[in-house]
Structure 1
Amino acid sequence: MHRRRRTALLLSVAITAAAPLLTACGSDAHPGAAAVVGDDRITVAQLENRVNEVRTAQRAASTDESQYQQVVAQSSALTRNTLNSMVLEKVLDQALTDADVTVTRKEVQGYRSDLEAQAGGAEALETAYLQRYSVAPEQLDESLRSDVEVQKLSAALGADLNTQEGGVAFWKALSEASKKLDVDLNPRYGSWGVDPTSGRVGLLDAKTPWLKEVTGTGSRSA
Protein backbone atom coordinates (compact mmCIF):
# COMPACT_ATOMS: atom_id res chain seq x y z
CA MET A 1 0.00 0.00 0.00
CA HIS A 2 1.16 3.57 -0.69
CA ARG A 3 2.18 6.12 1.93
CA ARG A 4 -1.31 7.57 2.28
CA ARG A 5 -2.66 4.12 3.09
CA ARG A 6 0.14 3.34 5.54
CA THR A 7 -0.50 6.44 7.61
CA ALA A 8 -4.27 6.32 7.49
CA LEU A 9 -5.37 2.74 8.13
CA LEU A 10 -8.22 3.11 10.44
CA LEU A 11 -10.66 2.37 13.04
CA SER A 12 -13.44 0.42 11.61
CA VAL A 13 -10.82 -2.22 11.12
CA ALA A 14 -10.16 -4.76 13.84
CA ILE A 15 -7.64 -7.48 14.51
CA THR A 16 -9.66 -10.62 15.09
CA ALA A 17 -10.22 -12.76 18.15
CA ALA A 18 -11.78 -16.07 19.03
CA ALA A 19 -14.17 -14.64 21.58
CA PRO A 20 -17.45 -16.46 22.28
CA LEU A 21 -20.72 -14.88 21.31
CA LEU A 22 -21.91 -12.54 23.99
CA THR A 23 -24.99 -12.95 26.09
CA ALA A 24 -27.18 -10.01 26.95
CA CYS A 25 -25.20 -7.92 29.35
CA GLY A 26 -24.41 -4.43 30.42
CA SER A 27 -23.28 -2.28 33.28
CA ASP A 28 -25.77 -1.50 36.01
CA ALA A 29 -26.15 2.02 34.64
CA HIS A 30 -26.61 0.93 31.03
CA PRO A 31 -28.08 -2.56 30.78
CA GLY A 32 -27.62 -4.11 27.36
CA ALA A 33 -24.90 -1.64 26.39
CA ALA A 34 -21.35 -2.59 25.50
CA ALA A 35 -20.42 1.08 25.70
CA VAL A 36 -22.02 4.50 25.97
CA VAL A 37 -20.24 7.23 24.04
CA GLY A 38 -21.71 10.66 24.59
CA ASP A 39 -25.40 10.37 23.71
CA ASP A 40 -24.85 7.18 21.69
CA ARG A 41 -25.16 3.60 22.89
CA ILE A 42 -23.25 0.73 21.36
CA THR A 43 -25.40 -2.24 22.24
CA VAL A 44 -24.23 -5.77 22.79
CA ALA A 45 -26.41 -6.78 19.83
CA GLN A 46 -24.63 -4.30 17.56
CA LEU A 47 -21.26 -5.57 18.71
CA GLU A 48 -22.31 -9.18 18.17
CA ASN A 49 -23.54 -8.36 14.70
CA ARG A 50 -20.18 -6.93 13.67
CA VAL A 51 -18.31 -9.89 15.08
CA ASN A 52 -20.68 -12.32 13.37
CA GLU A 53 -20.23 -10.58 10.02
CA VAL A 54 -16.49 -11.09 10.27
CA ARG A 55 -16.79 -14.72 11.33
CA THR A 56 -19.27 -15.45 8.53
CA ALA A 57 -16.93 -13.92 5.97
CA GLN A 58 -13.95 -15.80 7.37
CA ARG A 59 -15.83 -19.08 7.21
CA ALA A 60 -16.90 -18.42 3.62
CA ALA A 61 -13.29 -17.66 2.67
CA SER A 62 -11.93 -20.82 4.33
CA THR A 63 -11.44 -23.96 2.28
CA ASP A 64 -12.53 -26.23 5.12
CA GLU A 65 -13.39 -26.29 8.81
CA SER A 66 -9.78 -26.84 9.81
CA GLN A 67 -8.64 -23.68 8.06
CA TYR A 68 -11.52 -21.72 9.55
CA GLN A 69 -10.64 -22.86 13.07
CA GLN A 70 -7.05 -21.82 12.46
CA VAL A 71 -8.23 -18.35 11.42
CA VAL A 72 -10.37 -18.13 14.54
CA ALA A 73 -7.46 -19.20 16.72
CA GLN A 74 -5.31 -16.48 15.20
CA SER A 75 -7.88 -13.84 16.03
CA SER A 76 -8.37 -14.33 19.72
CA ALA A 77 -9.46 -10.78 20.62
CA LEU A 78 -12.00 -9.99 17.92
CA THR A 79 -14.81 -8.93 20.21
CA ARG A 80 -12.75 -6.51 22.32
CA ASN A 81 -10.90 -5.12 19.33
CA THR A 82 -14.14 -4.67 17.43
CA LEU A 83 -15.64 -2.75 20.34
CA ASN A 84 -12.51 -0.65 20.49
CA SER A 85 -12.96 0.22 16.82
CA MET A 86 -16.65 1.02 17.26
CA VAL A 87 -15.97 3.42 20.12
CA LEU A 88 -13.04 5.04 18.36
CA GLU A 89 -15.18 5.67 15.29
CA LYS A 90 -17.38 7.88 17.46
CA VAL A 91 -14.41 9.52 19.13
CA LEU A 92 -12.95 10.28 15.71
CA ASP A 93 -16.26 11.80 14.62
CA GLN A 94 -16.12 14.12 17.65
CA ALA A 95 -12.53 15.09 16.88
CA LEU A 96 -13.55 15.91 13.29
CA THR A 97 -16.38 18.09 14.56
CA ASP A 98 -14.03 19.88 16.94
CA ALA A 99 -11.61 20.54 14.07
CA ASP A 100 -14.45 21.58 11.70
CA VAL A 101 -13.52 18.80 9.29
CA THR A 102 -15.98 16.97 7.06
CA VAL A 103 -15.65 13.93 4.80
CA THR A 104 -17.88 13.46 1.76
CA ARG A 105 -19.13 10.25 0.19
CA LYS A 106 -17.36 11.25 -3.02
CA GLU A 107 -14.03 11.37 -1.19
CA VAL A 108 -14.58 7.91 0.26
CA GLN A 109 -15.64 6.51 -3.11
CA GLY A 110 -12.55 7.98 -4.73
CA TYR A 111 -10.35 6.49 -2.04
CA ARG A 112 -11.96 3.09 -2.50
CA SER A 113 -11.53 3.26 -6.27
CA ASP A 114 -7.82 3.99 -5.82
CA LEU A 115 -7.37 1.06 -3.46
CA GLU A 116 -9.34 -1.30 -5.71
CA ALA A 117 -7.10 -0.36 -8.62
CA GLN A 118 -4.03 -1.13 -6.53
CA ALA A 119 -5.43 -4.38 -5.18
CA GLY A 120 -6.67 -5.69 -8.53
CA GLY A 121 -10.40 -5.17 -8.13
CA ALA A 122 -13.18 -4.88 -5.59
CA GLU A 123 -13.15 -8.53 -4.58
CA ALA A 124 -9.39 -8.51 -4.10
CA LEU A 125 -9.66 -5.45 -1.86
CA GLU A 126 -12.41 -7.07 0.23
CA THR A 127 -10.30 -10.20 0.60
CA ALA A 128 -7.24 -8.20 1.64
CA TYR A 129 -9.15 -6.32 4.31
CA LEU A 130 -10.72 -9.47 5.65
CA GLN A 131 -7.44 -11.34 5.84
CA ARG A 132 -5.27 -8.53 7.15
CA TYR A 133 -7.63 -6.47 9.26
CA SER A 134 -10.69 -8.66 9.96
CA VAL A 135 -13.02 -6.28 8.16
CA ALA A 136 -16.05 -8.01 6.66
CA PRO A 137 -17.15 -6.87 3.17
CA GLU A 138 -20.24 -5.25 4.71
CA GLN A 139 -17.98 -3.12 6.89
CA LEU A 140 -15.49 -2.03 4.24
CA ASP A 141 -17.03 1.30 3.26
CA GLU A 142 -17.21 2.35 6.89
CA SER A 143 -13.61 1.32 7.40
CA LEU A 144 -12.46 3.27 4.37
CA ARG A 145 -14.40 6.30 5.51
CA SER A 146 -12.46 6.17 8.76
CA ASP A 147 -9.22 6.02 6.77
CA VAL A 148 -10.14 9.21 4.95
CA GLU A 149 -11.21 10.85 8.21
CA VAL A 150 -7.82 10.14 9.75
CA GLN A 151 -6.08 11.64 6.72
CA LYS A 152 -8.16 14.81 6.79
CA LEU A 153 -7.99 15.24 10.56
CA SER A 154 -4.22 14.87 10.61
CA ALA A 155 -3.96 17.40 7.77
CA ALA A 156 -6.19 19.87 9.64
CA LEU A 157 -4.04 19.45 12.73
CA GLY A 158 -0.85 19.85 10.74
CA ALA A 159 0.18 16.47 12.14
CA ASP A 160 2.55 14.35 10.07
CA LEU A 161 1.75 10.84 11.27
CA ASN A 162 5.20 9.66 10.19
CA THR A 163 6.74 11.76 12.95
CA GLN A 164 6.61 11.50 16.72
CA GLU A 165 5.38 15.06 17.02
CA GLY A 166 2.58 14.42 14.56
CA GLY A 167 1.52 11.30 16.38
CA VAL A 168 1.40 13.16 19.68
CA ALA A 169 -0.75 15.94 18.19
CA PHE A 170 -3.13 13.45 16.60
CA TRP A 171 -3.63 11.41 19.75
CA LYS A 172 -4.03 14.54 21.85
CA ALA A 173 -6.98 15.53 19.66
CA LEU A 174 -8.55 12.10 20.07
CA SER A 175 -7.90 12.13 23.80
CA GLU A 176 -9.66 15.47 24.16
CA ALA A 177 -12.59 14.20 22.07
CA SER A 178 -12.78 11.06 24.20
CA LYS A 179 -12.94 13.10 27.40
CA LYS A 180 -15.67 15.28 25.94
CA LEU A 181 -17.75 12.19 25.12
CA ASP A 182 -17.14 10.66 28.56
CA VAL A 183 -16.85 7.08 27.28
CA ASP A 184 -18.58 4.62 29.62
CA LEU A 185 -17.39 1.10 28.85
CA ASN A 186 -19.05 -2.05 30.10
CA PRO A 187 -16.40 -3.36 32.51
CA ARG A 188 -16.69 -6.90 31.16
CA TYR A 189 -14.70 -5.72 28.13
CA GLY A 190 -11.96 -3.98 30.05
CA SER A 191 -11.18 -0.36 30.76
CA TRP A 192 -11.03 2.75 28.59
CA GLY A 193 -8.35 5.36 28.90
CA VAL A 194 -5.05 6.74 27.71
CA ASP A 195 -2.07 4.44 27.47
CA PRO A 196 0.55 6.07 29.73
CA THR A 197 3.40 4.92 27.52
CA SER A 198 2.13 5.74 24.03
CA GLY A 199 -0.43 8.42 24.82
CA ARG A 200 -2.98 6.63 22.66
CA VAL A 201 -6.59 6.52 23.73
CA GLY A 202 -8.68 3.38 23.57
CA LEU A 203 -9.73 0.17 25.21
CA LEU A 204 -6.57 -0.74 27.05
CA ASP A 205 -4.81 -3.79 25.59
CA ALA A 206 -7.10 -3.87 22.56
CA LYS A 207 -5.56 -3.68 19.11
CA THR A 208 -6.69 -2.23 15.83
CA PRO A 209 -4.55 -1.70 12.73
CA TRP A 210 -4.92 2.05 12.82
CA LEU A 211 -3.79 2.11 16.44
CA LYS A 212 -0.59 0.49 15.25
CA GLU A 213 -0.34 2.68 12.17
CA VAL A 214 -0.79 5.99 13.94
CA THR A 215 2.07 5.67 16.38
CA GLY A 216 4.08 8.69 15.38
CA THR A 217 6.92 6.53 14.07
CA GLY A 218 5.75 5.81 10.54
CA SER A 219 6.39 2.10 11.04
CA ARG A 220 3.99 -0.80 10.72
CA SER A 221 4.47 -3.12 13.67
CA ALA A 222 2.62 -6.42 13.58
Structure 2
Amino acid sequence: MHRRRRTALLLTAAIAAAAPLLTACGNDAHPGAAAVVGGQRITVAQLESRVDEVREAQRATVPDEAQYEQVVARTGSLARDTLHGMVLDRVLHRAAQDAGVSVTRKEVQQMRTGLEQQAGGAEELQTVWLQQYGVAPERLDENLRLQLEAQKLAEHLGTDTGRPAFWKALSEASEQLDVDLNPRYGAWDVQKSSRVDARTPWVREMTAAGTQQTA
Protein backbone atom coordinates (compact mmCIF):
# COMPACT_ATOMS: atom_id res chain seq x y z
CA MET A 1 0.00 0.00 0.00
CA HIS A 2 2.84 2.37 0.88
CA ARG A 3 4.52 2.02 -2.52
CA ARG A 4 1.28 2.41 -4.43
CA ARG A 5 0.14 5.41 -2.45
CA ARG A 6 3.57 6.98 -2.84
CA THR A 7 3.16 6.65 -6.61
CA ALA A 8 -0.26 8.28 -6.44
CA LEU A 9 1.21 11.10 -4.41
CA LEU A 10 4.03 11.48 -6.91
CA LEU A 11 1.69 11.89 -9.84
CA THR A 12 -0.20 14.61 -8.02
CA ALA A 13 2.83 16.23 -6.42
CA ALA A 14 3.67 18.19 -9.55
CA ILE A 15 0.38 20.03 -9.15
CA ALA A 16 1.38 21.54 -5.84
CA ALA A 17 5.14 21.73 -6.42
CA ALA A 18 6.65 25.18 -6.56
CA ALA A 19 7.65 26.05 -10.14
CA PRO A 20 8.73 29.22 -11.94
CA LEU A 21 5.91 31.15 -13.57
CA LEU A 22 5.97 31.07 -17.36
CA THR A 23 4.76 33.64 -19.85
CA ALA A 24 1.55 32.48 -21.51
CA CYS A 25 2.08 31.55 -25.13
CA GLY A 26 -1.39 30.31 -26.02
CA ASN A 27 -3.64 31.92 -28.61
CA ASP A 28 -7.08 31.53 -30.15
CA ALA A 29 -5.99 28.81 -32.58
CA HIS A 30 -8.03 26.25 -30.67
CA PRO A 31 -11.29 27.92 -29.60
CA GLY A 32 -13.17 26.03 -26.92
CA ALA A 33 -10.12 24.00 -25.95
CA ALA A 34 -8.71 23.85 -22.44
CA ALA A 35 -5.66 22.11 -23.88
CA VAL A 36 -4.41 20.47 -27.04
CA VAL A 37 -2.29 17.33 -26.62
CA GLY A 38 -0.89 15.55 -29.64
CA GLY A 39 -3.29 17.48 -31.85
CA GLN A 40 -6.28 16.25 -29.82
CA ARG A 41 -8.39 18.78 -27.95
CA ILE A 42 -9.41 18.58 -24.33
CA THR A 43 -12.42 20.85 -24.48
CA VAL A 44 -13.48 23.25 -21.77
CA ALA A 45 -16.77 21.33 -21.63
CA GLN A 46 -14.91 18.05 -20.99
CA LEU A 47 -12.87 19.67 -18.25
CA GLU A 48 -15.92 21.23 -16.62
CA SER A 49 -17.67 17.85 -16.72
CA ARG A 50 -14.75 16.26 -14.85
CA VAL A 51 -14.80 19.05 -12.27
CA ASP A 52 -18.55 18.62 -11.82
CA GLU A 53 -18.01 14.91 -11.15
CA VAL A 54 -15.65 15.73 -8.29
CA ARG A 55 -17.90 18.44 -6.87
CA GLU A 56 -20.92 16.14 -6.94
CA ALA A 57 -18.95 13.41 -5.17
CA GLN A 58 -17.71 15.90 -2.57
CA ARG A 59 -21.24 17.15 -2.01
CA ALA A 60 -22.50 13.60 -1.53
CA THR A 61 -19.90 12.84 1.13
CA VAL A 62 -20.29 16.18 2.96
CA PRO A 63 -24.02 16.81 3.44
CA ASP A 64 -23.48 19.79 5.73
CA GLU A 65 -23.52 22.98 3.65
CA ALA A 66 -20.93 24.81 5.75
CA GLN A 67 -18.52 21.89 5.60
CA TYR A 68 -19.05 21.56 1.87
CA GLU A 69 -18.19 25.23 1.37
CA GLN A 70 -14.98 24.63 3.32
CA VAL A 71 -14.13 21.71 1.05
CA VAL A 72 -14.72 23.88 -2.03
CA ALA A 73 -12.54 26.62 -0.56
CA ARG A 74 -9.71 24.15 0.08
CA THR A 75 -9.92 22.89 -3.50
CA GLY A 76 -10.22 26.21 -5.28
CA SER A 77 -7.69 25.16 -7.92
CA LEU A 78 -9.69 22.04 -8.82
CA ALA A 79 -10.18 22.99 -12.50
CA ARG A 80 -6.47 23.62 -13.05
CA ASP A 81 -5.49 20.53 -11.07
CA THR A 82 -7.98 18.39 -12.99
CA LEU A 83 -6.67 19.64 -16.32
CA HIS A 84 -3.15 18.86 -15.15
CA GLY A 85 -4.22 15.28 -14.48
CA MET A 86 -5.97 14.94 -17.84
CA VAL A 87 -2.90 16.15 -19.71
CA LEU A 88 -0.46 14.13 -17.62
CA ASP A 89 -2.55 11.02 -18.29
CA ARG A 90 -2.00 11.44 -22.04
CA VAL A 91 1.68 12.29 -21.62
CA LEU A 92 2.32 9.26 -19.43
CA HIS A 93 0.37 7.01 -21.79
CA ARG A 94 2.51 8.21 -24.69
CA ALA A 95 5.72 7.61 -22.72
CA ALA A 96 4.51 4.13 -21.80
CA GLN A 97 3.64 3.35 -25.42
CA ASP A 98 7.06 4.53 -26.58
CA ALA A 99 8.63 2.17 -24.05
CA GLY A 100 6.40 -0.74 -25.05
CA VAL A 101 4.67 -0.72 -21.66
CA SER A 102 0.99 -1.55 -21.32
CA VAL A 103 -1.50 -2.18 -18.53
CA THR A 104 -4.30 -4.73 -18.69
CA ARG A 105 -7.77 -4.43 -17.22
CA LYS A 106 -7.00 -7.45 -15.05
CA GLU A 107 -3.99 -5.67 -13.54
CA VAL A 108 -6.12 -2.62 -12.75
CA GLN A 109 -8.75 -4.80 -11.09
CA GLN A 110 -6.12 -6.67 -9.07
CA MET A 111 -4.67 -3.39 -7.84
CA ARG A 112 -8.11 -2.06 -6.97
CA THR A 113 -9.04 -5.23 -5.07
CA GLY A 114 -5.86 -5.05 -3.04
CA LEU A 115 -6.34 -1.38 -2.22
CA GLU A 116 -9.97 -1.93 -1.27
CA GLN A 117 -8.95 -4.64 1.17
CA GLN A 118 -6.35 -2.38 2.76
CA ALA A 119 -8.66 0.64 2.86
CA GLY A 120 -11.49 -1.32 4.45
CA GLY A 121 -13.85 -1.54 1.50
CA ALA A 122 -14.77 -0.11 -1.90
CA GLU A 123 -16.47 3.01 -0.54
CA GLU A 124 -13.58 3.70 1.80
CA LEU A 125 -11.10 3.53 -1.09
CA GLN A 126 -13.25 5.87 -3.18
CA THR A 127 -13.37 8.33 -0.30
CA VAL A 128 -9.58 8.27 0.10
CA TRP A 129 -9.00 8.91 -3.60
CA LEU A 130 -11.61 11.67 -3.65
CA GLN A 131 -10.31 13.48 -0.58
CA GLN A 132 -6.59 13.07 -1.16
CA TYR A 133 -6.30 13.12 -4.94
CA GLY A 134 -9.49 14.80 -6.18
CA VAL A 135 -10.50 11.72 -8.16
CA ALA A 136 -14.23 11.08 -8.55
CA PRO A 137 -15.40 7.50 -7.87
CA GLU A 138 -16.27 6.89 -11.53
CA ARG A 139 -12.69 7.82 -12.50
CA LEU A 140 -10.97 5.55 -9.98
CA ASP A 141 -10.09 2.78 -12.45
CA GLU A 142 -8.65 5.34 -14.86
CA ASN A 143 -6.47 6.75 -12.12
CA LEU A 144 -5.29 3.31 -11.04
CA ARG A 145 -4.33 2.56 -14.63
CA LEU A 146 -2.30 5.77 -14.55
CA GLN A 147 -0.53 4.63 -11.39
CA LEU A 148 0.23 1.22 -12.87
CA GLU A 149 1.53 2.73 -16.09
CA ALA A 150 3.86 4.93 -14.07
CA GLN A 151 5.11 2.00 -11.99
CA LYS A 152 5.67 -0.25 -15.00
CA LEU A 153 7.34 2.52 -17.01
CA ALA A 154 9.73 3.22 -14.14
CA GLU A 155 10.53 -0.49 -13.83
CA HIS A 156 11.14 -0.71 -17.57
CA LEU A 157 13.57 2.21 -17.31
CA GLY A 158 15.33 0.62 -14.38
CA THR A 159 14.45 3.46 -12.06
CA ASP A 160 11.58 4.66 -9.91
CA THR A 161 9.00 7.40 -10.30
CA GLY A 162 10.96 9.89 -8.23
CA ARG A 163 14.14 9.71 -10.34
CA PRO A 164 15.22 12.00 -13.20
CA ALA A 165 15.19 9.16 -15.75
CA PHE A 166 11.46 8.68 -15.25
CA TRP A 167 10.65 12.37 -15.63
CA LYS A 168 13.00 12.62 -18.63
CA ALA A 169 10.81 10.05 -20.40
CA LEU A 170 7.72 12.14 -19.58
CA SER A 171 9.47 15.30 -20.74
CA GLU A 172 10.27 13.68 -24.08
CA ALA A 173 6.65 12.57 -24.43
CA SER A 174 5.45 16.10 -23.59
CA GLU A 175 7.66 17.50 -26.31
CA GLN A 176 6.47 14.97 -28.87
CA LEU A 177 2.83 15.71 -28.05
CA ASP A 178 3.40 19.49 -28.26
CA VAL A 179 1.18 20.21 -25.26
CA ASP A 180 -0.57 23.58 -25.51
CA LEU A 181 -2.70 24.88 -22.63
CA ASN A 182 -5.29 27.61 -22.81
CA PRO A 183 -3.61 30.50 -20.90
CA ARG A 184 -6.70 30.63 -18.71
CA TYR A 185 -5.40 27.45 -17.07
CA GLY A 186 -1.69 28.27 -17.15
CA ALA A 187 1.06 26.79 -19.29
CA TRP A 188 2.74 23.40 -19.67
CA ASP A 189 6.34 23.09 -18.52
CA VAL A 190 7.80 20.48 -20.87
CA GLN A 191 10.87 19.85 -18.73
CA LYS A 192 8.80 19.16 -15.61
CA SER A 193 5.81 17.65 -17.47
CA SER A 194 3.64 19.79 -15.27
CA ARG A 195 1.11 22.58 -15.47
CA VAL A 196 2.36 25.91 -14.12
CA ASP A 197 0.60 29.20 -13.56
CA ALA A 198 1.23 31.66 -16.37
CA ARG A 199 1.74 35.35 -16.04
CA THR A 200 -0.32 37.17 -18.63
CA PRO A 201 1.78 39.84 -20.43
CA TRP A 202 -0.93 42.51 -20.42
CA VAL A 203 -1.30 42.20 -16.65
CA ARG A 204 2.37 43.03 -16.20
CA GLU A 205 2.14 45.89 -18.68
CA MET A 206 -0.90 47.42 -16.97
CA THR A 207 0.76 47.07 -13.56
CA ALA A 208 3.91 48.73 -14.82
CA ALA A 209 1.88 51.55 -16.40
CA GLY A 210 -0.01 52.11 -13.17
CA THR A 211 3.22 52.27 -11.23
CA GLN A 212 4.66 54.86 -13.58
CA GLN A 213 1.54 57.01 -13.32
CA THR A 214 1.62 57.04 -9.53
CA ALA A 215 5.37 57.62 -9.34
CA RMSD of aligned residues (A): 2.3
Shift of 1:14: 10
Query: Which residues of structure 2 form unaligned runs of 5+?
Result: 17-25, 199-215
Shift of 1:15: 7.3
Tell me the matched-pair count: 189
2:198 paired with 1:202: no
**Could you list the per-position Cα deviations for residues 122-160 of structure 1 after superposition, in whole angstroms to 9, with x for gaps in the alignment?**
011001111111111111111111011111000011113
Matches within 5 A, 1:111-150: 111-150=111-150
- Relative to the length of structure 1, the TM-score reads 0.79
Aligned equivalent of 1:168, options 160, 164, 167: 164
Instruction: Report the AA paired with residue 172 of structure 1.
Output: K
Cα 1:9–1:81 shift into 2, 3 Å: same
Q: Does the residue aligned with 1:53 lie in a helix, a strand or coil?
A: helix
- Relative to the length of structure 2, the TM-score reads 0.81
Q: 1:95 corresponds to which residue?
A: 95
**Could you list the per-position Cα deviations for residues 19-43 of structure 1 after superposition, in whole angstroms to 9, with x for gaps in the alignment?**
xxxxxxx941001100010032100
CA distance in 1, matches of 2:92, 2:145: 11
Percent identical across equivalent pairs?
66
Q: 2:32 corresponds to which residue?
A: 32
Shift of 1:4: 3.3
Shift of 1:102: 0.7
Shift of 1:205: 4.8
Question: Contact between 1:95 and 1:173, CA under 8 Å: does it hold in 2?
Answer: yes
Question: Contact between 2:185 and 2:197, CA under 8 Å: does it hold in 1?
Answer: no
Aligned equivalent of 1:182, options 178, 184, 188: 178
**Higher helix fraction: Structure 1 or Structure 2?**
2
- Give the ranges of 4+ consecutive aligned residues of structure 1 lying more than 6 Å apart after TM superposition: 12-16
Cα 1:139–1:15 shift into 2, 3 Å: farther
CA distance in 1, matches of 2:10, 2:142: 10
Q: 1:104 corresponds to which residue?
A: 104
